[in-house]
Amino acid sequence: MDHPFLSELAWRGLLHQTTSPELAGHLATNGRVAYCGFDPTSDSLTVGNLLPITILARWQQSGHRPLVVMGGATGSIGDPSGKSAERQLLGLDQVRTNVISQRPIFERLLDFSGRHAASIVDNAEWLMKLGYVELLRDVGKHFSVNQMVARDSVATRLEGRDQGISYTEFSYMILQAYDFLHLYKTAGCTVQLGGADQWGNICSGIDLIRRIEGGEAYGITNQLVTKADGTKIGKSESGAIYLNAHRTSPYRFHQYWLNATDADALRFLRWFTFLSRPRVEELEAEQARDPSGRPAQRALADEMTSMVHSDAEMKRAKECAKALFSGDIRSLDVRSAVDVAADLPSVRMARAEFAGAGRSIIDLLTMPGLALASSKREAREFLEAGAVAVNGEPTSLGASITASSLLHGRFAFVRRGKRQWAVVEAVD
RNA sequence: GGGCGAAUACUCAAGCGGUCAACGAGGACAGACUGUAAAUCUGUUGGCUUAGCCUUCGUAGGUUCGAAUCCUACUUCGCCCA
């Protein structure tokens, strides 16, 4: 027999391994607690961190309780798993502020009320209090260095002559195992979720629980996902795609998914969205029938944007895209123009700047904040290639923006290439 | 502690006294073709007031008419010996 949570992960192509055949039986009772750890190495989570959060959400939807563990303590050490080189240590203050700023996204995707309420804890709460001698006595005793050295994550670092591993990182797995033990005892947590690279760490925790508490705990790992070309998900031309509207606007976020290749869009629908299996299969069929309509990309972009931001933001992003790509910019009325402008990188300039001969287009392209051209040389290159349009008008090297070329007397929507947009607004 | 070697633009990687703003590859960006795709082809990839000028080859000095290239010191990393 298979629990719905497991079969859900399986058809989505996410299930990698489970630690025990009895797991399904264990899950048959509702209200089980599973935890997943997150490294607070950045102040905002990116698309790359989204997968484990959605898995916790699926866990909750199947009638269990999710527990988010922020690695306030372990994050300052660094997990050697999947890392080829020693990590940079983060300051404790930095970790603390990162933990705080990451919270909202969890609150958006998980339900913190009701019978199976989610909760968030920071492992600094217990790990920081832990004495070194105490840890060696009570926990270290149960770890065999022979086994630790045999772990893939450690072994590769030992083989690599020019890499090495510090004692600090070597000890990481002990702390993660201790986390699991602590949560088992204090929160009744019996399951740990994580990526396939976490398998070793999860097993360490399960062993520790069995040895010290004589208890049974389980682990479920998900496939590590990448784009069809093998590169990381969530990296774009202009850097990482963040989940925070402040770092990546909902419009940019929506565009990121919309621009996925066909193969990726279909995979992403399974991995990241909460669309049902029949709906996903329907979209797959549609995509096969009419690839140029890109039904999969459209559905993906809409789903993701309303999931991470909101329905309203998703609609705005769509409107915005429609105006910029299919419509004529000049046909936008004042209200829509203001809306669209709000979602694009923008700069305000005094109206007087555009009087008379106006401002040269090169000056506008290189304005910091617009991210259209990084130097005048590059701006010239774009202009010579015919890559720049202002308010829908192709623009060439010598051109200037004058008061009369502004849309509604206020806006200059500047496009570079096919889809980089920015707006200059004239203000009094 | 001793010996040897390395450090070049986003990454890898040539260059070893003038012809070097620095070969090549990858990446990235732009153009054509397209579906705001993929693949392919073309171009660009330090900056500027662009037939020219200015600033770059770990850091600081030095030799020379002239240095990424030679010398000295320092910093960092790697290998070998203790």
Q: Region A63-73: what's the mean pLDDT?
A: 91
Q: Region A26-46: what's the mean pLDDT?
A: 86
Starting at the earlier edge strand, list the strands of the sheet with A119-122: A15-18, A218-222, A189-195, A33-38, A65-70, A119-122
State the pLDDT at residue A48: 80
pLDDT in tens, A311-370: 999 998 888 888 888 767 887 888 888 888 888 888 888 888 888 888 888 888 888 888
- Pick A414 or A159 by higher pLDDT: A414
From start to end of A306-401, where are the E strands?
Answer: 346-350, 359-360, 388-390, 393-394, 400-401
State the pLDDT at residue A275: 94
Which nt is closest to the CA of A416, judged by C1'?
A: B30
pLDDT band at A27 (very low <50, low <70, confident <90, very high): very high
- Pick A91 or A309 by higher pLDDT: A309
State the pLDDT at residue A342: 83
Nucleotides of B under 7 A from a protein CB: 28-32, 34-39, 44, 46-50, 77-79
Any strand B atom closer than 7 Å to A62 CB: no
State the pLDDT at residue A149: 79
pLDDT in tens, A253-306: 999 899 888 888 999 999 999 999 999 999 999 999 988 889 999 999 999 999
State the pLDDT at residue A419: 85
Any strand B atom closer than 7 Å to A25 CB: no
Which nt is closest to the CA of A326, judged by C1'?
A: B36
Which nt is closest to the CA of A382, judged by C1'?
A: B30
Any strand B atom closer than 7 Å to A360 CB: no
**CB of A81 within 8 A of CB of A37?**
no
- Pick A274 or A146 by higher pLDDT: A274
Rounded to two decimals, the pTM is: 0.84
State the pLDDT at residue A20: 86
Tell me if ipTM is over 0.85. no
Phi, then psi, of A288 in degrees rounded to 5: -70, -35
Window from A132-136, A165-169, A236-240, A322-326 with minimum mean pLDDT: A236-240
Interatomic distance A397 CA / B56 C1' (Å): 28
Starting at the earlier edge strand, list the strands of the sheet with A388-390: A346-350, A420-427, A411-416, A388-390, A393-394
Any strand B atom closer than 7 Å to A237 CB: yes
Q: Region A187-214: what's the mean pLDDT?
A: 92
Sign of the C-alpha dihedral, residues A49, A52, A56, A58? Answer: positive
C-alpha distance from residue A283 to each of A9, A311, A332 (Å)? 19, 20, 32
Ramachandran assignment for A371, one of left (phi > 0), alpha (psi -120 to 50 degrees), beta (any other):
left
Which nt is closest to the CA of A163, judged by C1'?
A: B78
Distance CA A153, CA A83 (A): 8
Strands A15-18 and A218-222: antiparallel
In the 97-126 stretch of chain A, whose C-beta falls under 7 Å of nucleic acid strand B? none
Looking at residue A20, its amino acid is S
End-to-end CA distance of chain A: 70
Percent of chain A with pLDDT over 90: 34
Q: Region A161-169: what's the mean pLDDT?
A: 63
Q: Is A36 helix (H, G, I), strand (E, B) or coil?
A: strand
**CB of A69 within 8 A of CB of A33?**
no
Mean pLDDT rounded to a whole number for chain A: 85
pLDDT band at A163 (very low <50, low <70, confident <90, very high): low
- Pick A141 or A156 by higher pLDDT: A141
Q: Region A145-150: what's the mean pLDDT?
A: 82
Window from A184-198, A220-234, A286-300 with minimum mean pLDDT: A220-234
**CB of A152 within 8 A of CB of A158?**
no
Which nt is closest to the CA of A262, judged by C1'?
A: B37
Strands A235-236 and A239-240: antiparallel
pLDDT in tens, A205-226: 999 999 999 999 999 999 888 8
User: Is residue A179 scored above 90 in pLDDT?
Assistant: yes
Interatomic distance A224 CA / B28 C1' (Å): 26
State the pLDDT at residue A16: 92
Q: Is A187 helix (H, G, I), strand (E, B) or coil?
A: helix
- Pick A370 or A169 by higher pLDDT: A370
Q: Which long-range contacts (CB under 8 A, 24 or more apart) does A406-411 make?
A: A406/A354, A407/A329, A407/A330, A407/A332, A407/A337, A408/A334, A408/A337, A410/A337, A411/A337, A411/A341
Domains and CATH numbers, chain A: 4-222 (3.40.50.620), 226-327 (1.10.240.10), 344-428 (3.10.290.10)
Interatomic distance A194 CA / B64 C1' (Å): 63
- Pick A166 or A264 by higher pLDDT: A264
Report, in angstroms and rounded to the nearest whole number, the Rg of chain A calculated over CA atoms: 26
Which nt is closest to the CA of A297, judged by C1'?
A: B37
State the pLDDT at residue A282: 93
pLDDT band at A237 (very low <50, low <70, confident <90, very high): low
User: Is residue A162 scored above 50 in pLDDT?
Assistant: no
Percent of chain A with pLDDT over 70: 91
Any strand B atom closer than 7 Å to A380 CB: yes
Q: Region A381-388: what's the mean pLDDT?
A: 89
In the 273-292 stretch of chain A, whose C-beta falls under 7 Å of nucleic acid strand B? 291-292
Any strand B atom closer than 7 Å to A395 CB: no
Any strand B atom closer than 7 Å to A363 CB: no
pLDDT band at A164 (very low <50, low <70, confident <90, very high): low
